[in-house]
Amino acid sequence: MLHNVYIDSKKWKDKLNKIIKYSHDTNLPESTIEKCIKPIISFTILTTSPDTEPEKLFYEMWHKANSKEKHSLTKMLLKIIRE
């Protein structure tokens, strides 16, 4: 029997934003940041629902993307957040 599991989407999105901000503040190498962020993005997308139209678009792109495309989406997300 499967149990319903509550995933707090705001909590995970906040965690993702904190990690990205921390990585920016500490000047970690871009490749290190991407390696850390990509699995968190995957987990967040698999366990939460999008709240806004831009999130819905990103979620849809992530679900349809292959590994190389997810790498590009990760880089784009980091770039957008940093601007």
Kindly give the confidence (pLDDT) of every residue in the chain, 83 residues in length, as a single tens digit, with 9 standing for 90 and above. 444 445 566 777 787 778 777 877 887 888 888 888 888 889 888 888 888 898 899 999 999 999 999 999 998 888 877 77
Contact 66, 53 (CB under 8 A): no
Query: How is residue 52 annotated by DSSP?
Result: S
Q: What is the structure's pLDDT at 10?
A: 73
Rounded to two decimals, the pTM is 0.71
Instruction: Report the pLDDT value the prediction gives residue 4, as an integer from 0 to 100.
Output: 47
Q: What is the pLDDT of residue 9?
A: 66
Cα 63 to Cα 70: distance, rounded to the nearest angstrom: 9
